[in-house]
Structure 1
Amino acid sequence: MTAPTPPDSAPVLPPAGDWVETWLSAPRFAVYLAAAESDRSRALALYEWNAQISAALLHDLAHVEVGLRNAYDRALSARWPGPPHWTLAGERVFAPVYRTRGRRRVDVNEKPRDNLRHAVINAGGPAARPGKVVAELMFGFWRYLSSAAHEKALWVPALHRAFPRGTDRAIHVDGPVGRLHTLRNRVAHHEPLLTTDIVGRFADLVGLADRLEPQLGQHLRVASNVPGLLAIRP
């Protein structure tokens, strides 16, 4: 008679055989095999760790993205009080601003106007609540509002008010937000983070959260699983 398995024993994972390449594809798994010096079990453990820390970063990124978009919404609403709400005044808020790109003159506000227009449609049209429109706008929309191209039109009259006095647009906001936007794209596409400076990106997250609201920064430090996962990387 077989003895029962103790209830506190850890489940046994199947060996990291050829099924892993069938699941992930050989090129994808090869990245982890190289990092694990061809140790298949360790490579699979690294893949699991990568998935776990990606999920943890996505959790933290979502917190900061929501904080950023709400802070920007408040700042823009104060600058363009309406009616209509700024989300329905895209032609005014994002009036054409032309820059030379190579041999072409480009309206740097064309894309945000288009993003806003599509967000209004997705939110239900011109009768949609402003909060619904704001929620429909992707991180990429908010990311580029702090760029140098929008400094005079948006940062100086409005967006700097989302942060404490002494905040530098390029150093404290646009740089970190740009790096976090790149990180979010990698996480969203399930890319390896094995060579990513996760410590630096977590510092960007916490630093931006501190500037948006110090208590948010403290909440992130306590709620995040990123530091714990960094400590147990296979």
Structure 2
Amino acid sequence: MSAGAPVRVLVADDEPMVRAGVRAVLATDPGLAVVAEAADGHAAVELAQRHRPDVAVLDIRMPGTDGIAAAAEIRRTVPGTGVLMLTTFGEDEYILQALGGGASGFLVKSGEPEELIAGVRAVAEGAAYLSPKVAARVVAHLAATGAGAGAARAAAARERVAVLTAREREVLALVGAGLPNAGIARRLHVVEGTVKAHVSSVLARLGVANRAAAAVLAHEAGLRPEASGQ
């Protein structure tokens, strides 16, 4: 994405009215441009390969190739395209699967229009974006996976996070809040290159594949920007 150019977006959903709604919301921001639309996951992958958008907004449930499989294939074949998943209530387990497939953001279809714009922009900038509703649901879903599992997961997350330095925990808390590198740099009063190095170190030391997975871990461990001392 060149400086000053609009963020190019692919929208994929099998419901025409949902696609129209997403397109209408994105059209309110002159810095965003929908370059292609798809009604199923297979078409979404083909269009992503053809148009190479900055962000692909994918519904999780689509006929044929679903959004999870499409997200994984897009990330594999068009690594420059970030993926933002659209979900509905009751699909928490799919969110966790999508995390493993490389999706960078998650939104609830019933959320506020501003969240869609914020999510697209965050993913375009290389950040993870978990809407507050989605983050809360993911953590709640993990906590409900079995008797005592919630406390065990939280304890395990805190243990994993404990290996980080104080600064790395601050960075992780801000990643969990959905801030891109530039926003974290401003928050911590450091240069962006330093933040990139910290994020790379955090991902490696935590053994997670991407910022979205790190964000979930931050929520599990109870890390919040307010607790980071900033």
Highest CA radius of gyration, 1 or 2? Answer: 1
TM-score normalized by the length of structure 2: 0.25
Structure with higher RCO (Cα < 8 A, 6+ apart): 1
* Bigger strand share: 2
